[in-house]
Structure 1
Amino acid sequence: MSSKDEKNLAQVLEKISSMDEPRRSAMRRVHDVVLAAAPTLKPRIWYGMPAYAKSASTPALITLRNDERMNLALTEKAPFRAAGGVDGELMPAAWYFDSVDAATEQRIAEIVRSVVG
């Protein structure tokens, strides 16, 4: 891991650690799931949010937001596919959550893997 990657990771972990509980624990779990699902992604801060990109110099593909609700979101740089079915041409881009259980972890891992291919 390069020193820039280490610095970026430290900034992401610092951002998460500054959150109040129980959000801090939930976001840390999501961070761990993202990195386990796609170990090649590089954590970084993107517009003030924890985010994950293919390299330290490329745009973020995934962000974690901690506003009124927590969410995992794909940026416009992520490869999008229409949902199909009843959702037609709509493209899923954000998933809100209040807590993280095993099923949520599994779904987040699926989403992350779909982004990195």
Structure 2
Amino acid sequence: MPTTDKAADDLQAVLDKIASWPEPFPEIGRQLHDTILSAGPKLKPRLWYGGCGYATGRSTPVVVFVRVDDGVMSFGVTEKGTSEREDGSLLRPAAWYVDEMDARTLDRVADLVRAAFA
């Protein structure tokens, strides 16, 4: 019986999901995906609640995610991730809407990913 590489299958499922999003989100999604994996090179992508989730293992909790719902793309940190409270409040940043991308934003995403997995 042939064996399958579940991590490779999960990665392909994530790439297929990103490619299926309406414009302009496939390109933004690819950039976010690449940035997330660069910031956390040991991360394992998988489909998660209809979007793309990233965790340290195939069966560990998703910590950051990218998804498109009703024409809106979001990048976020789940409750399993580390995030600092905003100055002057008890709020913790958890998600951001994305409709275009630049290098500065990708750098910020990389910082958020590194912090979330700290």
Which of these residues, 6, 11, 14, is aligned with residue 12 of structure 1?
Answer: 14
Matched to 2:73, the amino acid is M
1:63 and 1:34 map into 2 onto residues whose CA distance is: 9
For normalisation by structure 2, the TM-score amounts to: 0.90
* Structure 1 segment 19-98 matched on structure 2, within 5 A: 19-67=21-69, 68-83=71-86, 85-86=87-88, 88-98=89-99
Q: Which residue of 1 aligns with 2:116?
A: 115
Q: 1:21 Cα deviation (Å)?
A: 2.1
2:14 and 2:67 map into 1 onto residues whose CA distance is: 12
1:101 matches 2:113: no
**Percent of aligned pairs with the same amino acid:** 41
Secondary structure of 1:60 counterpart = coil
2:83 and 2:38 map into 1 onto residues whose CA distance is: 22
Secondary structure of 1:9 counterpart = helix
2:97 and 2:80 map into 1 onto residues whose CA distance is: 20
Matched to 1:94, the amino acid is A
For normalisation by structure 1, the TM-score amounts to: 0.91
Q: Structure 1: where are the runs of 5+ without partners?
A: none
Q: 1:76 Cα deviation (Å)?
A: 1.5
Q: 1:97 Cα deviation (Å)?
A: 1.3
Computed over aligned residues only, the root mean square deviation of the Cα atoms, in angstroms, reads 1.3
Q: Which moved more, 1:98-107 or 1:65-74?
A: 65-74
Residues 12-51 of structure 1, C-alpha deviations (whole Å, 9 max, x = no match): 0010011122111011100000001111110001111111
Q: Structure 2: where are the runs of 5+ without partners?
A: none
Secondary structure of 1:77 counterpart = coil
